[in-house]
Amino acid sequence: MVVEVRLEAPGSAEGLRPVTCDVARPGPGELLVRQSAAGVNFLDIYQRSGLYPLPRWPAVLGVEGAGVVEAVGDGVSGFGPGDRIAYAGLPVGGYASKRLLPAGRAVLVPDDVPDRIAAASMLRGLTAHMLLRRVYPVQVGDVLLVQAAAGGLGQVVTHWAKQLGATVIATVGSEAKVATAREAGADHVLLHRDAGLVEQVRALTGGQGVHFAYDGIGGGMLRRTLACVRPFGMAASLGQSGGPIPPLDVTELGPLRPIALSRPSVIAYANEPDTYRAAAAELFTALATWLHVPVGAEYPLAEAAQAHADLEAGRTTGSILLIP
């Protein structure tokens, strides 16, 4: 039998309910995976709320996890029973003790990377790779602004950017999270709720602003993030944990403030097969050598609703896992 956390329709976290169902057999091109852990991300919350529509309901959320292959379907090569794999991206289905997974979504996990770290790292690692390698290829000496740097993605982006030789100005939501951002490698840590945030960033950069700013907060914060970017720099908007983003007139970005704004998608990034495997390989090398991905909280699979509530309320730092 399999335990799944199902959501009947878009709504609040209380709608996430565990159910028991029969074990499915993998079809052509599929793997049956016994999951060791599944990641919980803001993307799941956006899908749960209906902000990012899903193709069908009821649904089992979850776009990131790791586990062991139990069976393979016809036409599958490169994987066999007993292989340790991880994945990130669509289709959803991670909130389960076992799941069917397209073989093209799976990547083999090296022996020196534990399952729980692989599960906690895939989506955030791919996102950091996308931001720092594709959206804005970071160079030694660049100055970055990382909003919400105590979160799971913020810590990975900060640590990775430091490895690339950047200076990182991090923001956090409270004094209690300052130490977390510093442990990730941030050179400067500010409170993003501070009314003088833009002026502080400007002061730290000699009045110029940052080369690249990452904003996963959204709401009214995006305009403040844009104000922190130097001429011909770039900002990336990748989420809205702080609420919907108000309409933005593109003429606000120039000609007096000639900056670029990106709205990248890690799901689209993961849908490029060659990119996906190259990014995962680089991520696993980093995890085995220098990248530390802290797991901030672990919940039993049946407590997915509580994990969502804690993430939405800002009560967590680092990555969040569900353990079957």
Domain ranges (residues) in the chain? 2-122+267-323, 140-262
pTM for the whole structure: 0.92
Residues, the chain: 324
For the domain covering 140-262, report its CATH number: 3.40.50.720
The pLDDT tens digits of the residues spanning 167-197 come to 999 999 999 999 999 999 999 999 988 889 9
Alpha-carbon gap, residue 116 to 148, rounded angstroms: 23
Encode pLDDT of 43-64 as tens digits.
999 999 999 999 999 999 999 9
The widest CA-to-CA distance across the chain, in whole angstroms, is 62
Query: pLDDT tens-digit profile of 278-289?
Result: 999 999 999 999
pLDDT exceeds cutoff 90 at 252: no
| C-alpha span between 127 and 187 (Å, rounded) | 21
What 3-state DSSP class applies to 310?
Answer: helix
How large is the average pLDDT for residues 95-105?
98
Average confidence (pLDDT) over 24-28: 94
| Strand pairing class (64-72; 30-40) | antiparallel
Other Cβ atoms within 10 Å of 191 Cβ, number: 16
Find out if CATH 3.90.180.10 is the number for domain 2-122+267-323.
Answer: yes
Asked if residue 234 has pLDDT above 80, the reply is: yes
For residues 18 and 302, is the Cβ–Cβ distance under 8 A?
yes
**What is the C-alpha to C-alpha distance for residues 322 and 313, in angstroms, rounded to an integer?**
18
Residue, of 107 and 239, whose pLDDT is higher:
107
Task: Say what the pLDDT of residue 256 is.
Answer: 59
Question: Which tokens hold the place of 133?
Answer: 């390698």
* H helical segments located in 176-303: 178-183, 197-204, 221-227, 266-270, 273-289
- Residue 242 is predicted with a pLDDT of 80
Mean pLDDT estimate for the chain? 94
Residue 58 phi, psi (nearest 5): -65, 165
Residue 318 has pLDDT above 90, yes or no: no
